Amino acid sequence: MVTLASDGRRQRGRLHPAWAVAAVAFLALVGAAGFRAAPGALIVPLHEEFGWSTSVMSLAVSINLLLYGLTAPFAAALMDRFGVRRVVASALSLVALGAGGSVLMTASWQLLVTWGVLIGLGTGSMALVFAATIAQRWFTRRRGLVMGVLTAGSATGQLVFLPPVAYLAETAGWRVASLVVAAGALAVVPAVWLVLRDHPADRGVRPYGADASYVAPPAVSGSAARRALEGLAFASRQRSFWALALAFAICGATTNGLIGIHFIPSAHDHGMATTTAAGLLAVVGIFDIAGTVASGWLTDKVDPRLLLVLYYAFRGVGLLLLPQLLSDSVHPSMVLFIVICGLDWVATVPPTAALCHQAFGERGTIVFGWVFASHQIGAGAAALGAGVVRDTFGSYTYAWWAGALLCGVAALLSMGVRASSPTGVRDDGGAPAPSSKETSP
């Protein structure tokens, strides 16, 4: 282990390298998020060309979301073992391969391979575990804020890609839209390779805000899969893990699974133009950025459990009212729903990540990977379930109401999360897990 002597914030009068790493990480998350915006805008064009049912296309998205989540804890361990740069560059390449390869589809099973398997593995190898890894390794101060900003990278990707994807799908065709998504993922790979490093020690500095007592962690060795499974075995013995996992599963079900995939088709059912509905989701992305950054800032100062209760309660009310708000045009009440939905969209991530770090210490990132896996299991189940509801009843109303009920359950679960390890010490036998409430510089 090496003790670093360089300043924790600046090196030779220059901006600390942590900020450059965070900036490129943000761009990588934007590039990978291109496909997150695509399915909702492409479901209608694919149905019109191939005649595939909503259930079949929802199954492809469901596979994507499940792999997106289940890959995450193993990706965290792979980043520990093989390095952030290699894993992220490979993940972006998989996203590009899946999006670009989809233009050659002629059968529905190929949709399951491209949209489902390739893009699911690619996005899952980064996801929010990547954001948590960067925030926890490179920052001591401002960790919650940085986590919020990086989480907003996915919302920014939705904001950047959704309007052109929807426009191109209606004008130039869905294949051109898919190629734009592929190009967006590939464009970030050179910056990832040039700038990203695994630890501040690789640049000869301490994490941003660390004092002189900071000691660089030892290199990780051994099987990445074994470390991921050991992290799950450790966490699964604690009630807080199950409360966080179940609540975050509901988070995924009500955002990525319901609104992210089915808002546009549902609005289309009510006579709204696809481009108009896509524009509303893009506005969600704008307010998501503000909400997630603010949530990161609040996580440094307020009990994360209280934040989670408030976020889930607001989301539940919105979903309960959504069937009455949908129509063939945009009106003030719909705009209000979009604003609240955006502010709340992934505001749950910074407090959830903070609680994982507090409760599970050095294993916090891998445990968060498993909690995030539950998020995507919930998203996948809701994406498929809402498609089945639409095909069965001819409407999404029951799906929206079920989401509202689940949000109430998530709020109750969040109240019961313990903010520190039951043993009072980190799992590695060290000092008590640090609080997420950091001091200002």
Q: What angle do CA 373, 81, 425 make, to 5 degrees?
A: 65
Selection from 249, 256, 247, 365 nearest residue 308 by Cα: 247
Rounded to two decimals, the pTM is 0.66
Q: What are the chain's domains?
A: 13-208+224-415 (1.20.1250.20)
**Residue 397, Cβ density class (10 Å: 0-12 exposed, 13-18 middle, ≥19 buried):** middle
> Cβ distance 77 to 227 under 8 Å?
yes
Residue 254's pLDDT is: 93
SS3 call for 10: strand
Nearest CA to 136 out of 422, 371, 360 is that of 360
Q: Rounded to the nearest 10 degrees, what angle do helices 143-171 and 17-32 cross at?
A: 30
Strand partners, 11: 14
Cβ atoms of 44 and 268 closer than 8 Å: yes
Q: Among positive and negative, which fits the CA dihedral 108, 110, 115, 117?
A: positive
- Rounded distance, CA 208 to CA 72, Å? 25
Token pair listed for 55: 């259930």
Q: What gap in Å lies between CA 12 and CA 50, rounded to an integer?
A: 60
294-347 pLDDT tens trace: 888 898 888 899 999 999 999 999 999 998 898 888 888 998 999 988 888 888
Per-residue pLDDT of the chain in tens (441 residues, 90 and over written 9)? 444 444 444 444 578 888 999 999 998 888 887 776 677 678 778 888 888 887 888 888 888 878 877 887 777 778 877 888 889 999 899 989 988 888 888 888 888 888 888 888 888 887 777 887 888 888 888 887 888 788 777 667 766 777 788 888 888 888 888 888 888 888 999 999 998 888 888 888 888 887 777 666 665 555 667 777 888 888 888 888 999 999 999 998 998 888 888 888 888 888 888 888 888 877 887 788 888 888 888 988 888 999 999 999 999 999 999 988 988 888 889 989 999 888 888 889 889 988 888 888 777 777 887 888 888 789 888 988 888 888 888 889 999 999 999 999 999 999 877 755 444 333 333 333 344 333 333
CA–CA distances in Å: residue 54 to residues 8, 247, 258: 52, 27, 13
Q: Which residues contact 397 (CB under 8 A, 6 or more apart)?
A: 323
pLDDT at 220: 58
Could you give the CA distance from residue 138 to residue 12 in angstroms, rounded to a whole number?
Answer: 18
Question: Can you say whether residue 400 is alpha, beta or left, with left for phi > 0 and alpha for psi between -120 and 50 degrees?
Answer: alpha
Q: Are 106 and 53 in contact (CB under 8 A)?
A: no
Distance between CA atoms of residues 7 and 393, nearest Å: 62
pLDDT of residue 429: 34
- Contacts of residue 339, Cβ cutoff 8 Å, sequence gap at least 6: 283, 287
**3-state percent helix, strand, coil for the chain, nearest multiple of 5:** 75, 0, 25
Question: Which residue is listed with tokens 């020690």?
Answer: 201
End-to-end CA distance of the chain: 26
pLDDT of residue 400: 93
Chain mean position to CA 55: 24
Helices (H), 172-260: 174-187, 189-195, 224-235, 239-252
Residue in 348, 427, 376, 377 with CA at minimum distance from that of residue 126 = 376
Return the CA Rg of the chain: 21
